[in-house]
Amino acid sequence: MATISTKSVLALSVAALVLAAAPAATARPSPPGPSERCGTHDDVRRALTALTAHDRIPGASVLADGPCGRWAETAGTADLRTGRPMNTTDRLRVGSVTKTFTATVVLQLAAEHRLSLDASVDHYLPGLIDVHGYDGRHITVRQLLRHTSGLPHYLDAPVADPDRYSPRLLRGSEPANRHALRDWAAWTAARNTTYGLGRTRDAVLTVVDRIQAAAERAPLRVGDYRVDESTAPMVVFNGLSQDNDTAYGDFAQGMRDLRDAAAGKAVTPSPWLADTLGFTLTGSMSDYGSVQMSILCGDVAAPRDPETYWRDVQRSRAQDPLFGPVTNNIGPCAFWDPPRERPTVIRNDLPALLVNATGDPRTVYQGAQAVHRDWPSSRLVTLRGADQHAVFGVYGSDCVDATVNAYLATEKLPATDVTCAASPH
């Protein structure tokens, strides 16, 4: 087993936690290394086989693109129902795990008494943090793991209102989701010859309402899945985080499938709908959801009385019968052990760059405005007119990306807040 030094892991921790909020920048490929680096991939094959045979992971896949060319290896099963093996063309949902693995190794080193969580970063990496008034002597390893170190390379995108942060963060996002649904409906109506969901925005929205009404009468049969009155709104909700033609088209195809199922037709779900139903109704992505829940539930305690959620669902249903029950429903955090520590409250001013879209249906724009008010030295980059969650490096705004890249390259904030226009569909 390879030995990893405490210093190396902590350096990785600093890098991972500082840069985690922004997607990785595209780097110029390095020159080819020694010839042995371009040999066989036997070690990778053995590792994949160990995952599937020993650790009992159903399937595993590796795709590499580097100086030695592009190659892929797979092992195991892609579909447990049919036994189909994994192949290099399978679509995989990718999640960010760098922070999780890095934090796990840091905690392991702490358990082995090779590292102290309350020691300063400067103790292990002297002089690493000494810029813009930030001092590594006053930033602890524990703060790095909590993401509360105040490092100047901080990119907060998207942004949540700290006064409202809790496992129930989606409460109050109903208007933003309703706005996003209307925008998608208008886009779909303009492409009625392709999707056939209606020639006007209201006609498309009527189809959505009829799907929900049908699911309330009896579960819809969609391939091997059953879509009931609780699942149908989740499908709509999951279709409304990305504002681009590809995402809109996938969502429209999925709604057409549900419309046909509501009419009693036999339906084979489109790839997007199959992925969404698998994510919602099975444990196929439980690893992703478990990590997310462990963070949300461990930060701030959630109400434990189911009646609290029931009352909120009924009250919100009167305002928005589709999204209200989704955003106010009970979740795993209601049954989670209470957090061991009180939430960290940050009220000191930070020279951060905040990025948010005005129509973000997940971390709504008002949250970014609240943080901006708390941090007068910060700058807010606004993507106006887009119903987009995750902006930098994802949406494709040259204005946003150039502003953020300039900040990351120079560590200098823009002189004023920046507003960028959404791309037309």
One domain, residues 88 and 115: no
C-alpha 196/C-alpha 7 separation (Å) is 59
Asked if residue 353 belongs to a domain, the reply is: yes
For residues 85 and 106, membership in a common domain is answered with no
Alpha-carbon distance of 271 to 425, in angstroms, equals 23
- Check whether residue 65 and residue 121 sit in a common domain: no
- Alpha carbon distance 113, 120 (integer Å): 15
Same domain, 353 and 409: yes
Q: Are residues 101 and 88 in the same domain?
A: no
Residues 373 and 404 placed together within one structural domain of the fold? yes
Q: Which pLDDT score, from 0 to 100, does residue 153 have?
A: 35
Judge contact between 230 and 211, C-beta under 8 A. no
d(CA 113, CA 129): 24
Q: What is the pLDDT of residues 170-198, one digit of tens each?
A: 999 999 999 999 999 999 999 999 999 99
pLDDT below 70 — which residues of the chain? 1-38, 92-97, 131-134, 147-161
* Tens digits of residue pLDDT in 71-119: 888 999 888 888 899 887 777 665 666 777 888 888 888 888 888 887 8
Contact 66, 29 (CB under 8 A): yes
Q: What pLDDT was estimated at residue 227? A: 98
d(CA 220, CA 261) in angstroms, rounded, equals 6
Q: What is the pTM of this model?
A: 0.64
CA distance 196 to 194: 6
144 vs 365: CA distance, rounded Å = 26
Q: Do 110 and 88 share a domain, yes or no?
A: no
Range of the domain at 75: 46-51+61-92
Work out how many domains the chain is built from and give that number: 3
354 and 390 part of one domain = yes
Report the pLDDT value the prediction gives residue 384, as an integer from 0 to 100.
97
- On whether residue 69 sits in a domain, the answer given is yes
Query: How many angstroms separate the CA atoms of 174 and 364, rounded?
Result: 10
Residue 81 located in a structural domain: yes
How many residues does this entry show for the chain?
A: 425
Residue 183: partners with Cβ closer than 8 Å, 6 or more residues away: 243, 359, 387
Determine, yes or no, domain membership for 411.
Answer: yes
pLDDT of residue 146: 73
Same structural domain, 111 and 87: no
> Can you give the pLDDT at residue 206?
96
Domain membership flag for residue 397: yes
Q: Are 22 and 157 in contact (CB under 8 A)?
A: yes
| CA–CA distance, 256 with 44 (Å, rounded to integer) | 41
| 272 assigned to some structural domain | no
Locate 289 and state its tokens.
């959801």
Widest CA span of the chain, in angstroms?
A: 68
Beta-bridged to residue 225, according to DSSP, are 222
263 in any annotated domain: no
* 381 is a domain residue: yes
Residues 84 and 101 in one domain: no
* Residue 132 and residue 88 share a domain: no
416 and 349, same domain (yes or no): yes
